[in-house]
Structures are given as structure tokens and as C-alpha cells.
Chain A
Amino acid sequence: MSIELHHPQIGAFLGDPSEHSHIVSFYACDAALVDNVVAYLAAGLRAGEPVIVIATPAHREAIAGALDAVGLPPTVDRGVTMLDAHDTLADLLVDGEVDATRFAARIGDLIDQALRRSGARRVRAYGEMVDLLWRGGHEDAALALEELWNDLSRRSSFALLCAYVAADVRDVEALRAICDTHSHTICDVTAAGSREVVERIARIIAHELRNPLAMMMMTADYIDRATDDGKVARAARRIITSGDRIDRLIADVLALAEVDLMPPAANDEAPVDR
């Protein structure tokens, strides 16, 4: 798992994602979402990469308008494919589960065709089907769909951006499960409603740091107990002392993150499209 908090350079990061990136963005309002998606898609279109958008009608309209406004009208000739997230998801479901064969046939073919038609090195995709599943309470199905995207990424060349409504990801375990299926996590700490997500991400980072630290300190403790060599024992105890300091620093950074995150910006923007 790789977690990256990008502020305020989210747009620059999304403009040039690394090969086979599978990025998740947590958003609190549609305007922030559209800004990020358009930064990601526009850079791809300018680089000659085909673009696939699988989104709700309101988001497709907003994304199309924003692309148009930056001189990139989302036309088929330009390599833009826009699909409805509800309809596409419905095509993939069998007995309420996302069917791997249908996914490979529908989405895999879509990406392959886009690559063939354009001659480009890769496709940029943006998808909201996972968010629809998650919001509908089908969290396991959402994570299974993320893994299907990951499987496809091993066979096909595309970058993928997913977005989840920040408020719908309610606890650390859920957030970690989502982050674990992605290569990068981004969260705009200035966006209203994102503060809680950033705090949860900080707690995950603390967990990810403390687990290997715990292993190192326990192993040093074991060496201290097992050895008859005074020098080795003293070296082991120095590791433990330094580990204690790191542990206290993690606690301090966590406490700081809880009080020192930017306060939510005043926000009269439209809520998320549900």
C-alpha cells in the first residue's frame, strides 16, 4: 500500500501518474472531484492518450463541460469514451456480484480497442462503479471490482483513477481496505469533509510504521535476552531505546495531525451527486 497526501499539488500529480497507477481519491464535493478528474484527463488528452470515463450522468456532464472549457471538447475523434456508471455496472453484474468474465470482455475490450485506435502507449480511465457499489452497501463487491481492475492492469496498459465519497468511508478498517487495493491514495486536505479521512489515513500510516517497529524492538529484546555477550546485549538495548523514541515521535506526529490539519474551507459548493 502506498499512501500519498498531495496538497496542493494534487493536480500536478494526477497530470502525470506513473505507469499502471491505480489511484484512489476521496472527495467531499463535486467541484473538487471534477477539478481532479479534469486535471488527470486533460493531461492525458494533451499527451495523445485515449480517455475512458465511466461516471454518473451529472458527473459526466460536469467533466465534459470542464474539458470543453480548457479547449479539450470530449469527442470520440479525440479518443474520449464516456459511459454511464449505473448501466455499465448493471451489465457486469450476475446475481449481484461483478462477473470476472463479463468485466474482462466489456472493460478489457474497451481498453484494448482504445489502445488500437489511438496507437497510444496507454489509456487513462476514470471510474465510479466502485463508488456506486460502496455507497449501496456492497463493500465486498466494490473491493472485488477493484481487484478485477488490478488483474486487468497486469495485462493491459492503462492508468486508473477511482473516487469515493469521503463521508461514506466511515472507519479505519474500511479506509485501509480501499487503500490496499490501490497504488496511490490522494486526499485534498483543504476540501471540506476531507479532514476526517486525512486523520484516518494518518492513523493507518501510524499503524503501518508501528508494526515493523514492534517487530524490530521485539527482536532486539529477544537478542538482549538470548545473548551472553555484553556488547551484543548493549547494542540490542540501544535499538530498543531508539525504537521507543520513534514510537513517541509517531504518537506526537499523530497528535499534531489531529490538531493542526487545515480547518475545512468555507464551503457553499454543491454536495456530491448521489
Chain B
Amino acid sequence: MIPPKLVFVVDDEPGFCDTLQDLLEDEGYEVRTAMDGSRALALLRALDRQPCIILSDLLMPILDGHGLYQAVRADPALAKIPFLFMSTDPSRAPAGEPAIRKPVDVDAILAAVKRY
């Protein structure tokens, strides 16, 4: 049996990860979450399979979205995982990477995830 696609959600807002996890699980995805970039990086390196996409906030404590992005891109084992940034100011996302504005359009997130 083919396992469901894995989506990784990183956001420091309590409840945001939970709701997005419920939404994506209802659409048939498996979801892992972290509340800052540092924990996300540790979890990503410990996973036995790669997520099809990382949905990440930009402004977070400890390690922000930019730091997580740079660390993932610098790690050969993780470098090819696509990102979708979710931010109150999407113009601050890393150049060339897709970003959507918070409050998020759920349909836009689901459409983006379905592409991967």
C-alpha cells in the first residue's frame, strides 16, 4: 500500500499547526508539525521519508523561516524539498520561493500542496 503523502508544517502560532494538520489529514495527507525552525530541522533529519512540501511561517523564534530554508537547502539529504511560505508579509519570503499571505486562503494552500 502506498503511504499518504507527507506534509511538514512549521508555525509558532498555537493552534495554527493543529488546524492545518486537521485540514490536510482530512484531504488524505500525513502531517508532521513543529513550532520553530530549529525543531523542524531536527524532525526533518529524523524522518524516515521526506515530506512532499514544507509549509513554513517566516517570523518564528529560535530559527526563523529564512534560517530553516537556508539549512534545508544546505543539507544534501533535504535540499530538494519544496517550500511554501505562509506569512503576514509574504514579500519577505526567500527570493523566488512561493509564499501566501496570512490570513491564509485554505483553498490556495490545498491547491499548492496538491501540486507536489
Contacts and interface: CB of A to CB of B under 8 A. Distances in A.
Contacts of B28: none
B88 A218 contact: no
Contact of A211 (B13, B22, B26): B13
Candidate in A176, A215, A247 with the most chain B CB atoms within 10 angstroms: A215
Contacts of A173: 59, 64
Given A173-B64, A222-B23, A226-B26, A214 B13 contact: yes
- Chain A contact surface mostly: helix
B64 A218 contact: no
A203 B89 contact: yes
A219 B89 contact: no
- Chain B contact surface mostly: loop
Contacts, number: 59
Contacts of A180: 61
Contact of B88 (A176, A207, A226): A207
Interface residues of B, number: 21
Contacts of A225: 23, 26, 106
Nearest to A246: B103
A172 B87 CA distance: 14
Contacts of A176: 59
B102 interface: yes
A217 B103 contact: yes
Interface in B70-85: none
A219 B16 CA distance: 8
Contacts of B16: 211, 214-215, 218
B64 A214 contact: no
A173 B86 CA distance: 16
Contact of A222 (B19, B86, B102): B19
A221 B89 CA distance: 21
A203 B23 CA distance: 29
A215 B22 contact: no
A212 to B, nearest CB: 6
Contacts of A218: 16, 19-20, 23, 103-104, 106
Interface in A242-260: 243-244, 247
Q: Closest 10 CB pairs between A and B? A: A214-B102, A214-B103, A210-B88, A211-B13, A215-B16, A217-B103, A215-B15, A219-B19, A207-B88, A221-B106
Interface of A: 172-173, 176, 180, 203, 206-207, 210-215, 217-219, 221-222, 225-226, 243-244, 247
10 contacts: A176-B59, A180-B61, A203-B89, A207-B89, A211-B102, A214-B103, A217-B104, A218-B19, A219-B15, A225-B23
